[in-house]
């Protein structure tokens, strides 16, 4: 208990930055669920591919510790663009390969879920065997720096020196904390505005609320579903950059646990609800930090999933309840 109180500010700030990453990934689960009532289990892999894209991009640009501020901003922006593009692409591919035919044939949702789990393992293992893939394509030598140690962690170049910016209580808030939290909030705000205010956003909400009526209004439901996957992918890509900046490395199977946590965040807030995902992410990040401070770091995941069970027992629809379908915005 003393540890929790002594480090309350530190635990809160790091919990929020972890929660911000959960929330960004959770948006992908919640968007797709809102529109298709499908749990896109492979969304964790969409995130993981983005993290690799970010790492490779900065590596290819020669990013290393001690770069000038201008260069660091350049690296980060390039990493962001690459990760969002790659994650978006993977999300679109996933929809095309793993789900579309099932949807056209009105397959039961359980079938789609199994397809999702299969796609998740396939994507993760493909990344974990990327050295074999490169050898097979005859590019093993050229791509060596990118594919070596395919089953180990790949470190993200340490382009940012962690520096304290200001003191809050007795904790020095670092530039990375601030970067992660503010970028995540900006992305979420942008998504929220897009869904609430734009024509395409209205199309997404219309399909979520009543797919048949939506097509009677002239909404192309295939396009809308693709757009939904793309948006989820873009958010996961952004989350991936923040993740590698904060954590410093990525592995082919990192997506799994993070994906389950992000999914937990989505359910916690009320799946199908965009603002619920945001709230769920932050609550989960904080709960993990406070919980592990109370009973020990090795209990971190136990705390997270116990919280999920408790919320589902007492509030099965999540904290904010409403789905994308019923939510006003």
Partner 1 sequence: MLLTVEGLCVNYGRIEALRDISFEVPEGSVVTLVGANGAGKTTTLKTVSGLRGVRAGKVVFAGEDITHLPAHRRVERGVSQAPEGRGIFPGMTVRENLEMGAYVRKDRKTAAYREDTERVLTLFPRLQERIGQSAGTLSGGEQQMLAIGRGLMARPRLLLLDEPSMGLAPKLIQQIFSIVTEINQQGTTVLLVEQNAAQALKRADHAHIMETGEIVRSGTGAELAGDDAVKAAYLGGDI
Give residues in contact with partner 1 (CB under 8 A): 199, 202-203, 205-206, 209-210, 212-221, 322, 324-328
Are 284 and 307 a contacting pair, CB within 8 Å? yes
Q: Supply the minimum distance, in Å, between the C-beta of residue 105 and partner 1.
A: 14
Taking each continuous run of H as one helix and of E as one strand, the counts in the chain are 15, 4
Parallel, antiparallel, or unpaired: how do β-strands 249-250 and 154-155 relate? antiparallel
Residue number, 175 or 221, with CB nearest to partner 1:
221
Are 45 and 255 a contacting pair, CB within 8 Å? yes
Q: Supply the minimum distance, in Å, between the C-beta of residue 118 and partner 1.
A: 29
DSSP bridge partners of 166: 173
CA distance 44 to 257: 8
Residue number, 103 or 202, with CB nearest to partner 1:
202
What's the token pair of residue 202? 């209205």
Q: Supply the minimum distance, in Å, between the C-beta of residue 218 and partner 1.
A: 3
Cα Rg of the chain, angstroms: 20
Residue number, 36 or 76, with CB nearest to partner 1:
36
User: Where is 180: in which H helix or E strand?
Assistant: helix 175-197
Q: Supply the minimum distance, in Å, between the C-beta of residue 42 and partner 1.
A: 28
Q: Position of tokens 């350049």? A: 74
Residue number, 161 or 210, with CB nearest to partner 1:
210
Residue number, 198 or 306, with CB nearest to partner 1:
198
Orientation angle between helical segments 274-295 and 300-314, nearest 10 degrees: 130
Q: Supply the minimum distance, in Å, between the C-beta of residue 256 and partner 1.
A: 33
Residue number, 2 or 199, with CB nearest to partner 1:
199
Residue number, 202 or 300, with CB nearest to partner 1:
202
Residue number, 81 or 325, with CB nearest to partner 1:
325
DSSP bridge partners of 173: 166
What's the token pair of residue 176? 């990375």
Residue number, 193 or 216, with CB nearest to partner 1:
216
Integer CA distances (angstroms), 130 to 91, 146, 148, in order: 19, 9, 8
Q: Supply the minimum distance, in Å, between the C-beta of residue 106 and partner 1.
A: 12
User: Where is 174: in which H helix or E strand?
Assistant: strand 171-174
Q: Position of tokens 């304290």? A: 164
What's the token pair of residue 140? 């093993």
Q: Supply the minimum distance, in Å, between the C-beta of residue 31 and partner 1.
A: 15
User: Where is 155: in which H helix or E strand?
Assistant: strand 154-155
Q: Supply the minimum distance, in Å, between the C-beta of residue 206 and partner 1.
A: 6
Burial class (CB in 10 A: 0-12, 13-18, 19+), 94: buried
Q: Supply the minimum distance, in Å, between the C-beta of residue 228 and partner 1.
A: 16
CA distance 175 to 189: 21
């Amino acid at each position: 208990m003393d540890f929790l109180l002594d480090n309350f500010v530190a635990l809160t700030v790091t919990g929020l930055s972890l929660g911000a990453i959960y929330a960004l990934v959770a948006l992908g689960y919640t968007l797709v669920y809102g529109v298709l009532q499908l749990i896109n289990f492979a969304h964790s892999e969409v995130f993981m591919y983005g993290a690799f894209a970010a790492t490779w991009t900065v590596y290819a640009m020669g990013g290393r510790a001690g770069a000038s501020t201008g260069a660091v901003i350049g690296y980060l922006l390039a990493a962001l663009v690459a990760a969002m593009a790659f994650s978006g692409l993977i999300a679109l591919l996933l929809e095309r390969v793993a789900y579309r035919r099932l949807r056209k044939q009105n397959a039961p949702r359980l079938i789609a879920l199994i397809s999702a789990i299969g796609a998740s393992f396939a994507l993760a293992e493909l990344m974990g065997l990327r050295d074999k893939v490169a050898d097979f394509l005859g590019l093993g030598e050229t791509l060596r720096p990118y594919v070596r140690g395919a089953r180990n962690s790949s470190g993200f170049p340490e382009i940012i020196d962690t520096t304290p910016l200001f003191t809050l209580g007795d904790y020095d808030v670092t530039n990375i904390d601030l970067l992660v939290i503010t970028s995540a909030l900006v992305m979420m705000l942008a998504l929220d505005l897009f869904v609430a205010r734009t024509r395409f956003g209205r199309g997404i909400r219309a399909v979520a609320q009543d797919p048949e009526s939506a097509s009677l209004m002239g909404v192309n439901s295939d396009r809308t579903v693709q757009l939904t996957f793309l948006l989820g992918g873009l958010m996961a890509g952004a989350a991936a950059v923040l993740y590698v900046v904060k954590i410093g490395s990525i592995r082919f199977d990192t997506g799994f646990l993070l994906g389950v946590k992000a999914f937990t965040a989505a359910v916690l807030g009320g799946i199908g609800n965009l603002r619920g995902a945001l709230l769920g992410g932050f609550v989960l990040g904080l709960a993990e930090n406070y919980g592990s401070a109370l009973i020990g770091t090795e209990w971190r995941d136990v705390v997270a999933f116990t919280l999920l069970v408790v919320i589902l027992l007492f509030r099965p629809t999540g904290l904010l309840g409403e789905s994308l379908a019923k939510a006003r915005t």
